[in-house]
Amino acid sequence: MLKARLIGSLIFAIIFCAIYYPMQTIGFFVILGIGYVIFLNLRGSINEMNQDYDRALRRRSALEVAQMYLSPYNDIWGELKLSNKFCSIEISKDGVIYGTEKRLDKTRPYRTFRIIRSHVHDIQDVWEMFCLNFDHVKTYDDIVDDCRLYKTEIMEDVIGAAAADTKPQQAKLNVEKLDINNCSEIELTALPGISIVMSKRVIKKREEIGGFKTINDFFLFIKVKPHMESQLRELVCVNKMKGSVKIERSKERTVDL
């Protein structure tokens, strides 16, 4: 009731001033409108400054998480690059994110991509998510999967290597491949897609069976995704296991009592 009376009194005062003091009333409302517009602009600027500050804090926190993979680390708004031995991803000063597959040898093609746009996130937010999720086993296929997860569109390019004699190249590849039957647990864990738990299972299994017979037996045991299997096939090989004998329980000697 009191509120209605106050509103009615205000309307009466405005009508009275408009009738007896029209110029003063118009000037008052003009000044009031200008003040309101200035207030809205100031509030918008303050909110934008707060958002920029929060965004800078989030980005600095994300870069601190990825600091061991980051180069350089002197300017959070400059050109930054996350890198391990399998791939790298970087953001330019123009805000464009590029990803590159590292060549483990000079005989196979490698891939690159550029993020065109994101339908959900700001490009800086996408970079923060890459920083938070990057690690030493992240592969090129993993960061492409991350792009799909972050709802981004990418433009991918495959760069071919120079052709050469295939026999010497194959021999070189076999030397560089990791021998599953004779490698250490740490070497297994360094492979893309192989966790510490999986590497322990592989070590235990090869001791039980006296080593994997073929590379297919190894992949049947670990059961990784098809794209990860195709990548691992270029990095591993299976040779005869050294210094271990398979225990045949069915052939153990029976002791007469």
* pLDDT number for residue 201: 87
Rounded CA separation 152/123 (Å): 9
Instruction: Please calculate the CA angle 222-224-227 and round it to the nearest 5 degrees.
Output: 145
HSE-CB of 220 using CA atoms within 13 angstroms: 7
Rounded (to 5) percent helix, strand, coil in the chain: 55, 15, 35
Rounded CA separation 4/156 (Å): 66
Q: Are 131 and 163 in contact (CB under 8 A)?
A: no
* pLDDT number for residue 166: 38
* pLDDT number for residue 251: 42
Low-confidence stretches of the chain (pLDDT < 70) are 1, 44-45, 47-53, 55, 71-78, 105-108, 160-176, 243-257
* pLDDT number for residue 98: 92
Rounded CA separation 242/233 (Å): 22
